Amino acid sequence: MSNTQASSVSPSHGKLIAVVVAAALVIVLALLSAFVWPGWALNKGGSQTTQSSGTNSQSSSSGTDSKKEEEEPTTPSIKATALPDNASELLKAMPDSVLNYARTAAAASTTWTAASPLEEYTLTYSTGDEAKDVTLIVAQWSTADSAKKQYDSLAGALTGTELGSGTVKVSGQSTGNYVAKTDANDDTKAVAVWRNDTVVFQVTGAKAGVERFYPKFPL
């Protein structure tokens, strides 16, 4: 009886082992096929990952490039021209640079002579690209009323589209007004005029340059 039992169990047990081994071989072969050769599962996943990574990188790079195109430098790439040794206090107060615009010329002028300023100067600020140069005229009067009269005259003569206007404040106190408008004859250009107490300023040039320049001018 013992021999009969052994005889009946042994073949079944052997078949079970054979089935398990066969199943294991199938699984092993499937894994080998998927991840080793020809590697369809590994390659597919890797391809998707690389493609996704590449898309993200391109998107990020594109966004960065767009941002760089929108942003302008805030420091000049050229050196400011020195002022003459006999420069007045008003001329010395003019900044060497505003954002990436450096002073490249400064000289006495007579544009507003009819308004009898005490002194007047015309300055050029440049990025190094002459097409983007802006021209600044600055003059000082003996009284704030005389300067206001000149400001009102200049501001009233501007007939283009308004780009900005408001009050000039120093230490929280109102010291004048400002207005910026497009050039009535060429809307790619603009003019900004402002008064700070007894001093009047006017900057002209390309619209984009004027819009960046005058809000950052320190006086």
Q: What is the CATH number of the domain that holds 191?
A: 3.40.1000.20
pLDDT reported for residue 70: 57
pLDDT reported for residue 44: 39
Q: Enumerate residues 6+ apart whose C-beta is below 8 A from 151.
A: 176, 177, 193, 194, 195, 200
Q: Is residue 28 part of a domain?
A: no
Of 8-17, 46-55, 63-72, 128-137, give the lowest mean pLDDT range: 46-55
Rounded CA separation 173/171 (Å): 6
Q: Is residue 143 part of a domain?
A: yes
Q: What are the phi and psi torsion angles at 19 (to 5°)?
A: -65, -45
Q: Is residue 52 part of a domain?
A: no
Q: How confident is the model at residue 71 (pLDDT cuts 50, 70, 90)?
A: confident
What does the pLDDT average to over 108-131? Answer: 97
Helix (H) or strand (E) holding 159: none
Q: How many domains does the chain have?
A: 1
User: Would you report the helix, strand and coil content of the chain in percent, each value rounded to 5?
Assistant: 45, 30, 25
Q: Is residue 139 part of a domain?
A: yes
Query: Where are any strands of DSSP class E within the chain?
Result: 97-98, 101-108, 119-126, 134-140, 162-170, 173-183, 186-196, 199-206
Identify whether the C-beta of residue 76 lies closer than 8 Å to the C-beta of residue 102. yes
Domain that holds residue 93: 89-216
